[in-house]
Amino acid sequence: MTTRSEANATAGLRENFKFLALEVTKLIEDTQRMLASPREEVMTKIVARDDYVDNLKSMIENKCFRLLTNEDLNEGTIDLIRAINVATNNLERIADFGVNIVGQLGYLDDLDTLHRFEAEPFFESILSTLGVVEPALFRRDMSLALAICRSELEIDELYSAVFRRIMDDLRSGDSPEDLVTTLFIYRYLERAGDALLNIGEAAIFASVGEKLKVSEFQALEETLASASPDLDLDLDLADVDYQGIWETRSGSRIGMVHSRESGKRSVVFKEGRTKKVFEEKLALERWEQLEPGLPPKVFAYQENGDKASLLLEYLQGDTFQRIMLDSDGRACTNAYMMVVETIGRVWDRTLEPTHCKPNFMRQVASRLPDVFKVHPEFRGAPARIGELDIPSFDALLTEARSLDAELVAPFRVLIHGDLNTDNVIVNLPQRKVHMIDLHRSRLFDYLQDVSVFIVSNFRLKIFEPGPRRRLDQVTREFYAFAREFALAHDDAGFDARLALGLARSLLTSTRFEMDPTFSRTMMLRARYLIERLLSHRAAHGQNSWADFRLDEATIVP
């Protein structure tokens, strides 16, 4: 709904935008006429319109940037202005495609080759869609926004049919030059559909305040519709607020959905690759059976080709990481005790006396190309200091691969799989612990989780004395907690395996760290741990891992 203040702020912008949409429409209509019957006077009009479109685009862009410096604008108006700017740029692209189409006519020897294929359905779809761009944006009309997005699918289908026909004709060897030129012309029409999709998604952004692709929006709509009736959430998207929480490194989108009516619960919407989302669904159900309330409840699951989505319970509380950074020492201690009690209980319940190879060096090898892409300087070169030979990092890692066969856990437990401290939610008032992002959970070596937990504290660049002390204290206590569990279950190789797990987590984390000094610190610490393991084996043999000890200075910064 447009407010009076927003209407006043964007009045001039809206008028310019109307003219822009109108001029682009006229230019595309002239392009259609040129394809039917090329005439010089029409070409002159197209060139003039293109210049006018460029001027309008610059004018609107300048107004958008000026308006965005106004501190009195509310968030909804700012979202609208951003959407207008995106739509403006894409309207100008559509005009450029029209000019490019006309430019291709000069390469045609025989216009009849072009006329063997029907361009009218393309133009009908583009022109009818251009007619609703302005109201879709400024009225925040979701149905029109989705109609704009759907036009891209229609144009894609038209292009696919023309493409197949042109390929068939090319195989027959008839007029290949004209057929290639014709393909270029239809390709520009298909790209106009892509620009319309961008405009439709900008209109969705103006409505919901989040950059949702149409596929993500449809996934949200379908997943909400499939939710249980007792969810008590208004399923009409016109009355639902969507707030993006984050987008993961793997491309999954996570957002919070809640009804604008007070008193109704919020839910979390997660959309990503089908395999990953389905794995998370199974993991959540497994953890719920093991310890009800530990993971978020699954309210709905929806698949759509290579993408799937989940509707999950919104968990009350703070991440354990935030508690360590923002709370006082007593709150941190209480939260820590709740977390380790929960983890210890899960380990005890799921322990299986089956040997397990964590293969930490194999995990390193699978991520090493990405590490070296970000930090090619890590490769290094062999060096010599006096009588001491220092191998290159590559050579060191190659030598360390044999450690995987020797460092074997005597049992396995159900692990989280990515136990960063921001994947643990603690509700202190209700004394509840929850875990999220469980798609990597499996029966495995518990030191995978221990090493990830410790390194997630290490890599936080926090230097204030209070928070840093809490982080380091939690790290020391978590190490002691895990070591006590190891002693209770005769895990003699605990320290050696943890050293390799820490090296793995430190090194692979550098692919997300651009700070050269800090990333080098993590790499050197990983190298030190690997060198210690190799030198211990060289001095004491393969069966001496029970004697290996980690020093505290390795565990904390």
- List pLDDT tens digits, range 434-455: 999 898 999 999 999 999 999 9
Structural tokens at position 49? 């319109």
Give the range with max mean pLDDT: 108-122, 204-218, 306-320, 403-417: 403-417
Residue 387 CB neighbour total at 10 angstroms: 5
Residue 262: is its pLDDT beyond 60? no
Residue 232: is its pLDDT beyond 60? no
DSSP state at residue 422: G
CA distance 323 to 338: 12
* pLDDT for the residue 247: 47
What is the pLDDT averaged over residues 199-210? 85
Angle subtended at Cα 345 by Cα 339 and Cα 347, rounded to the nearest 5 degrees: 105
Q: Which residue blocks in 173-317 are alpha helix, DSSP H?
A: 176-208, 214-225, 274-290
CA distance 375 to 359: 23
Q: Positive or negative CA dihedral for 488, 492, 495, 499?
A: negative
318-555: CATH number: 3.90.1200.10
Structural tokens at position 364? 């390193």
Mean pLDDT of the chain: 88
CA distance 448 to 458: 15
Q: What is the pTM of this model?
A: 0.76
Q: Where are the domains of the chain?
A: 4-209, 215-313, 318-555
Residue 427 near residue 461 (C-beta atoms within 8 A): no
Residue 189 to residues 167, 184, 543, Cα–Cα distance (Å)? 17, 9, 69
CA distance 326 to 332: 9
CATH class of the domain defined by 4-209: mainly alpha
Residue 507 near residue 523 (C-beta atoms within 8 A): yes
* pLDDT for the residue 212: 64
Residue 356 CB neighbour total at 10 angstroms: 18
CA distance 296 to 283: 11
Residue 345 near residue 337 (C-beta atoms within 8 A): no
* pLDDT for the residue 86: 96
Residue 346: is its pLDDT beyond 70? yes
What is the pLDDT averaged over residues 404-415? 96
Lowest mean pLDDT among 68-82, 195-209, 258-272: 258-272
What is the pLDDT averaged over residues 244-270? 62
Residue 231: is its pLDDT beyond 60? no
Most distant pair of Cα atoms in the chain: their distance: 90
Which of 71, 109, 214, 103 has its CA nearest to residue 156?
A: 214
- Residue 426 — pLDDT band, cuts 50, 70, 90? very high
The helix/strand/coil state of 437 is coil
* pLDDT for the residue 208: 77
Residue 198: is its pLDDT beyond 90? yes
Q: Which residues contact 43 (CB under 8 A, 6 or more apart)?
A: 34, 102
Residue 527: is its pLDDT beyond 80? yes
CATH 3.30.200.20 assigned to domain 215-313? The reply is: yes
**pLDDT digits over 92-130, tens only?**
999 999 999 999 999 998 999 999 999 999 999 999 999
User: Which residues does residue 319 pair with via DSSP β-bridges, in sequence order?
Assistant: 425
- Residue 309 — pLDDT band, cuts 50, 70, 90? confident
**pLDDT digits over 29-63, tens only?**
999 999 999 998 899 899 999 999 999 999 999 99
* pLDDT for the residue 157: 96
Structural tokens at position 533? 């393991």
CA distance 308 to 275: 8
Lowest mean pLDDT among 84-93, 296-305, 366-375, 502-511: 296-305
